[in-house]
A and B are shown apart, each in its own frame.
Chain A
Amino acid sequence: MQAREIKPGIYWVGGIDWNLRNFHGYSTDKGSTYNAYLIVDEKIALIDTVKANLTQELISRIRKVVDPARIDYVISNHIEMDHSGALPAIMELTPHATLVTSPNGDKGLHAHYPKEACRWKFKVVQQGDTISLGKRTLQFLPIPMVHWPDSMLTYVPEEKLLMPNDAFGQHLASEFLFDDEIGCSIVREQAAKYYANIVLPYSKSVQTLLTQIQKMKIEFDMIAPSHGVVIRKNVKELVSLYNKWSTHQSDNKVLILYDTMWNSTEKMAETIQLAVEEMNIPCCRTSLTTTHISDVITRVMESRYIFIGSPTLNNQVLPTMASMLSYMQGLRPRNKIGFVFGSYGWGGQAPKLIEESLRALGWELPLPPMAIKYIPTEESLDELRTQVTKILTGAK
């Protein structure tokens, strides 16, 4: 296992989880990495660790650079177990190291590792606290709720290096180290998916972070996150995307999101697609049978118009749709214009249930839901087209 130098004397020593396909319900079809960084100066610091299953990989990469026993500081930017899982093993190997974390990190690490943490030497840092490593300085900025209460950013001003932990991360396992090596479009795609699934509900805190970075005049030309590749080419682009996503701006495009029982709701979805395309507005039609909710939510975040359809099953929405709505209640995509549709046999409760759920998210719903009994007729589909056109008039 090799360590990889990202700046002179600063090494990536993380773990690559090639076969990870499920991250607490997030479909990680590209795997992931848990990034840890080793800074070798007069003093030696390790920034974050890895998930427990890759502990030996981390240790072996560190050994390529230094004997772990020489580490002076272990920085825990985030207590979640994909970054702290290897901490107990690392602290065993680094008998004289001080563990540096935020006030909430201190509480959280004791809760996660009660037996081990009572033996560790903690240094709790606040905003603006620094540790000198010799030529380089570690500057700390707790960033609560980006995305846990304990989240913290570590900054190395001399190297213009930002280590914001999960912020700016991507679930992306790769043999490449940098964004320009793997290709910036996949990094953008996976950063968007990561934001939509992990960071979106904490957008206000992201705004606070971006403002603080400006106010404190933090200059950086490299972002080394805790997942995925290191950003050195498209730093400005990614920061501006974070600004866009955290202010709930989206593109003028339509997402038709639905599931179907006997193809009636699907027929409605197809009709909507044709109507949208005729207006020359970009459009994506996504069935919940074939697309995972963690991919759908990314499209939701990026689209201004969301048209949602479900048939009524046993007086409820389809379970796939119930799951999607519940996911959205947690992730809270904002600033959307919605429209609800679906077929039914009797009762027809689904569209109303969906509408209530979207209202709770504060979405604008300019027209009432459209429900069609059993099989759509040409006339009912014509009416659907008219409704869609009404909503989208002025959208171009």
Chain B
Amino acid sequence: MKKYLCNACGYVYDPAEGDPDNGVQPGTAWEDVPHDWLCPVCGVGKDEFSEE
């Protein structure tokens, strides 16, 4: 599964790890991350991410 990079702060969303603190379980592909999910580091939306 592809990783995605936050253009604003450099945080990398890794599907293997997910973002359990914010309700995204490990193993969740980028496409399945909820639309209202925000970067856990800087708070921008999914549209500010690009494929790593």
Contacts and interface: CB of A to CB of B under 8 A. Distances in A.
A205 B9 CA distance: 10
Contacts, number: 20
Interface in A154-203: 201-202
Interface in B6-42: 8-11, 40-42
A199 to B, nearest CB: 13
A204 B40 CA distance: 9
Given A201-B43, A204-B40, A204-B41, 5 more contacts: A144-B10, A144-B41, A144-B42, A145-B9, A145-B41
Contacts of B9: 144-145, 149, 205
Contacts of B40: 204
Contacts of B41: 144-145, 202, 204-205
Contacts of B8: 149
A205 B6 CA distance: 13
B6 to A, nearest CB: 9
B43 to A, nearest CB: 8
A204 B22 CA distance: 13
Contacts of A145: 9-11, 41-42
B13 to A, nearest CB: 13
Contacts of A201: 43
A42 B40 CA distance: 44
A282 to B, nearest CB: 29
Please indicate which of the listed interface residues A145, A201, A205 has the most CB atoms of chain B within 10 Å of its own CB: A145
A205 B42 CA distance: 9
B37 to A, nearest CB: 14
Contacts of B42: 144-145, 149, 202
Nearest to B39: A145
For the complex of A and B, the 6 pairs showing the least CB-CB separation, nearest first, are: A144-B10, A145-B9, A144-B9, A149-B9, A145-B42, A145-B41
Contacts of A144: 9-10, 41-42
Contacts of A204: 40-41
A202 B11 CA distance: 12
A145 B40 CA distance: 11
A281 to B, nearest CB: 29
A149 B11 CA distance: 10
Nearest to A330: B43
12 contacts: A144-B9, A144-B10, A144-B41, A145-B10, A145-B41, A145-B42, A149-B8, A149-B9, A149-B10, A204-B41, A205-B9, A205-B41
A360 to B, nearest CB: 11
A269 to B, nearest CB: 32
A205 B11 CA distance: 9
A80 to B, nearest CB: 15
Contacts of A205: 9, 41
A204 B39 CA distance: 12
